[in-house]
Amino acid sequence: MASELISVRNLRVSFGSDAGTAKVLDGVDLAIRAGEIRGLVGESGCGKTTLARAILGILPRNSARIESGEIRFGGRDLLTLPESALASEVRGREIVYIPQDPSTAFNPVFTIGTQIDDLMRFKSPLLRGGADDRQGFFNSYPRERRAADRARVLELLRLVQLPNPEAVLRKYPHEVSGGQRQRLMIAMALLPEPKLVIADEPTTALDVTVQAQILKLLKQLARERGVAVLFTTHDLGAAYEICDRITVMYAGQEVEEAPVDGFFERPSHPYTRKLLDSLPSSEAGIRGIAGEIPRLIDPPPGCRFHPRCERATGICRTERPPPEAVDALHSVRCHHRLSATEPAS
């Protein structure tokens, strides 16, 4: 598709350890369109964060290995791009990251203003296309650009509804609340005018009322600016709130991809159905998923969900199901997918 902003194809990443090689991502396909808010959901350990980090090119260098695959973004393959180009042109510029815990993402010994200045010095959108893009630490930060950057910063801090932005810039990270730190993180993510924001569980550390505020803000700003968001979460409620489409991952592979309404109304993969069933609801009582998530060092062959799936047959044990289209936007990887009319299990 022409409007694809980023497409990940057949990505395999493994981590070496004493116990063996863990295949954390095993043939993941994912394509995000410009301006789309995409949810990436799954249980802990399913590879959500590894995928996010692989896109950003910040996998731990000594333990992670990219076995195969490509990440196409803006006509280039990010996996083969040299680190220097990645650092100066892509990471922090066109693809930015909002971390899970905003309290550890700031440096505690500098004021928020200093940290935003540092960001703008190297990642300001005013730099784009300029000759002095690849700056060293000692390069100057011209006065005019600094003033223009400062004006943008204050404007964006107002947009994320921080009261009294000038005063916030003079504060240290511990002097503002968790919700405000997350607002600052969103502002900092949007300052370089990126095309893709990777938000890694941005609201798990927050209370429900603050979560509602932050999600609202993220959705609104992404829409206004046409920024695509990859929103990883294990909270299906939060995904329902803001996503256009949702991708489910299980044990290092994507299993289903659907528009948000289709996802919640007509889940086609047995795992998705079980995940939705285990949400607390007053009608059905509490239902878990039998069994445990597989060890990634020697994962089950074929469909990785087959040991926990009651629909599993011989073919599930040997062959990974290919993606099948349920409708134009909804695809699923399952040999025995649930049909739309099937009642809840």
CA distance 242 to 238: 7
φ/ψ of residue 304, rounded to 5: -70, -10
Closest by CA position to 240, among listed 34, 39, 33, 30:
39
170 is a contact residue toward another protein (CB under 8 A): no
**Closer Cβ to another protein, 67 or 235, answer by number:** 235
**Closer Cβ to another protein, 35 or 178, answer by number:** 178
**Closer Cβ to another protein, 78 or 229, answer by number:** 229
Residue 239, token pair as written in the block = 């995904």
CA distance 122 to 189: 13
- The residues facing 72 across adjacent strands are 7, 77
Subset of residues 178 to 197 that bind another protein, contact rule: CB under 8 A: 178-180
**Closer Cβ to another protein, 86 or 157, answer by number:** 157
> Assign residue 215 a region: left if phi > 0, alpha if psi is -120 to 50, beta otherwise?
alpha
Residue 290, token pair as written in the block = 């039998």
φ/ψ of residue 187, rounded to 5: -60, -45
Give the nearest distance from C-beta 306 to another protein in angstroms.
17
Query: Positive or negative CA dihedral for 152, 93, 42, 177?
Result: negative
Query: Which of 160, 197, 236, 334 touches another protein by CB under 8 A?
Result: 236
110 is a contact residue toward another protein (CB under 8 A): no
- Which of the stretches 109-117, 137-145, 171-179, 317-325 binds another protein when contact is defined by CB under 8 A? 171-179
CA distance 52 to 42: 13
Query: Which of 23, 273, 274, 304 touches another protein by CB under 8 A?
Result: 274
238 is a contact residue toward another protein (CB under 8 A): yes
**Closer Cβ to another protein, 136 or 163, answer by number:** 163
Give the nearest distance from C-beta 278 to another protein in angstroms.
4
224 is a contact residue toward another protein (CB under 8 A): no
Subset of residues 32 to 51 that bind another protein, contact rule: CB under 8 A: 43-44
339 is a contact residue toward another protein (CB under 8 A): no
Residues for the chain: how many in total? 345
**Closer Cβ to another protein, 54 or 176, answer by number:** 176
- Which of the stretches 62-70, 122-130, 278-286, 298-306 binds another protein when contact is defined by CB under 8 A? 278-286
240 is a contact residue toward another protein (CB under 8 A): yes
Give the nearest distance from C-beta 225 to another protein in angstroms.
17
**Closer Cβ to another protein, 6 or 239, answer by number:** 239
Contact 311, 17 (CB under 8 A): no
156 is a contact residue toward another protein (CB under 8 A): no
Q: Where are the beta strands (DSSP E) in the chain?
A: 4-17, 20-33, 37-41, 64-73, 76-77, 95-98, 196-200, 228-233, 245-250, 253-259, 324-327, 330-332
Which residues contribute to the site for another protein (CB under 8 A)? 43-44, 177-180, 207-213, 215-216, 219, 234-238, 240-242, 264-265, 274-276, 278-282, 285-289, 292
